[in-house]
Amino acid sequence: MISKLLLIVLAIAAVVLWQAAYKVDETELVLVTQFGEIRAVETSPGLQFKVPFVQQVTRLDKRVLRVDVQPAGFPDKESQFLEIDAYVRYKIQPTELGIQNFRESLLTETGARDKISQIAIASLRAEVGNRLREQIIGGRITVNPDGTRTVTAILAPDGSSIREQLTRIVTASVQAQADAQGFGIDIIDVRIKRADFPESIVESVYTRMRSERQVQAERLRAEGEQQFLTKTAEVDKAVENIAASADETSNRLRGDGEAEAIRILAEALEADADLFAFRRSLQAYATILGSQSTLVLSANSPLFQFLQTPDGLGE
């Protein structure tokens, strides 16, 4: 009888001890509540005790938590809608006050997911509405002739990515709202996974972008053609000036040469007129006389005189 009673007592003691003891893991934050009121907060790992059957243990994750924001359409500065898919990373503040605030304002991680998602969407909508599409996407989109797209990164004045700058601003905004509402959390960052046009308007946007690039291409071609014509006219004018100068120089040199030839000829005539007459006659003979030539000349012809005697004086 005594042994049975002892076994019952030991069993009850074991159940009570089982209900009273609990373990805090390194990755957990633990709340001990009694009838819904917080009685204790445990942040250090180890074995802890509570009032059995009366107090309850609520475990919260101590690690970095993630909230995937529902993709939604946001209008940018030019009222063009972008479909943005983002996520928020946060941690529960590992202090007694932070855990109490989390428990009182958000209740559970599921409740935290909904409220954090709402304030993240509000912050994103406000920031996206003040920016151009290129600033939100983080680069300039170029549509290639084959239909593919090329994105060129845009940098902020401090050298960082314009997308990173947007992330910092939205993160600070969400943290400020979380602090104001006493969520008891630290926002690590709010990041945009994807920012693109809604599928319903993608083709129309691409068509408009192609049209804009076509207009720009035509303008550049017209400017290039104008520059080509200008340069061609300048080159033609330069060619005409060079040709005119060359003709002038050529005519002047030709005139100088002819004048020099006449001067030399005049000097030669003055030096030996008979020799000059003889050479001129020889040139005439070579021109008009052939192997079968027959000449009928007057005996007094000047051309005939050197055929009679070498001195051209006759007998």
pLDDT over 50 at 78, yes or no: yes
The SS3 call for residue 311 is coil
The SS3 call for residue 189 is strand
Distance CA 72, CA 69 (A): 9
Distance CA 287, CA 282 (A): 9
pLDDT-based confidence at residue 315 (cuts at 50, 70, 90): very low
Q: Which of 204-208, 296-300, 309-313 has the least mean pLDDT?
A: 309-313
Q: Which two tokens stand for residue 26?
A: 């390194």
pLDDT of residue 175: 92
Residues 22 and 117 both lie in one domain? no
- Answer for the pair 49, 22: CB distance below 8 angstroms, yes or no: yes
Residues 126 and 54 both lie in one domain? no
What amino acid is encoded at 152 in this protein?
Answer: T
Last residue of a domain, one of 153, 175, 200: 200
Q: Which two tokens stand for residue 260?
A: 């020099």
State percent of the chain over pLDDT 70: 76
Domain that holds residue 137: 65-200
Residues 135 and 174 both lie in one domain? yes
Last residue of a domain, one of 36, 61, 86: 61
Q: Which helix (H) or strand (E) holds 61?
A: strand 55-61
Residues 9 and 85 both lie in one domain? no
281 lies in a domain?
A: yes
Whether the model clears a pTM of 0.75, i.e. scores above it, the answer is no
pLDDT of residue 66: 92
185 lies in a domain?
A: yes
Tell me what the mean pLDDT of segment 69-90 comes to.
Answer: 84
pLDDT of residue 203: 63
Residues 52 and 162 both lie in one domain? no
Residue 50: CB atoms within 10 Å? 20
23 lies in a domain?
A: yes
**Which of 247, 143, 263 minimizes the C-alpha distance to 204?**
143
Residues 95 and 155 both lie in one domain? yes
220 lies in a domain?
A: no
Q: What is the mean pLDDT of the chain?
A: 79
Which range has the top average pLDDT, 10-14, 154-158, 303-307?
10-14
Residues 70 and 52 both lie in one domain? no
- How does pLDDT run across 157-170, given as a tens digit for each residue? 666 677 788 888 89
245 lies in a domain?
A: no
Residues 37 and 107 both lie in one domain? no
The CATH number assigned to the domain holding 163 equals 3.30.479.30
pLDDT of residue 87: 92
**Which of 79, 40, 32 minimizes the C-alpha distance to 59?**
32
Q: Which residue has the higher pLDDT, 179 or 281?
A: 179
Residues 40 and 110 both lie in one domain? no
- Answer for the pair 194, 84: CB distance below 8 angstroms, yes or no: yes
Residues 42 and 76 both lie in one domain? no
What lies within 8 Å, CB to CB, of 168 at 6+ separation is none
Residues 276 and 151 both lie in one domain? no
CA dihedral for 35, 38, 43, 46, sign (positive or negative): negative
Last residue of a domain, one of 169, 200, 231: 200
What's the total number of domains in the chain? Answer: 3
206 lies in a domain?
A: no
Q: Mutual orientation of helices 273-288 and 202-271 as an angle, nearest 10°?
A: 120
Q: Which two tokens stand for residue 177?
A: 């709202």
86 lies in a domain?
A: yes
Residues 21 and 79 both lie in one domain? no
- How does pLDDT run across 21-55, given as a tens digit for each residue? 788 888 888 878 787 777 778 888 888 777 787 77
Tell me what the mean pLDDT of segment 197-201 comes to.
Answer: 61
Distance CA 87, CA 170 (A): 11
30 lies in a domain?
A: yes
**Which of 11, 9, 32, 10 minimizes the C-alpha distance to 21?**
32
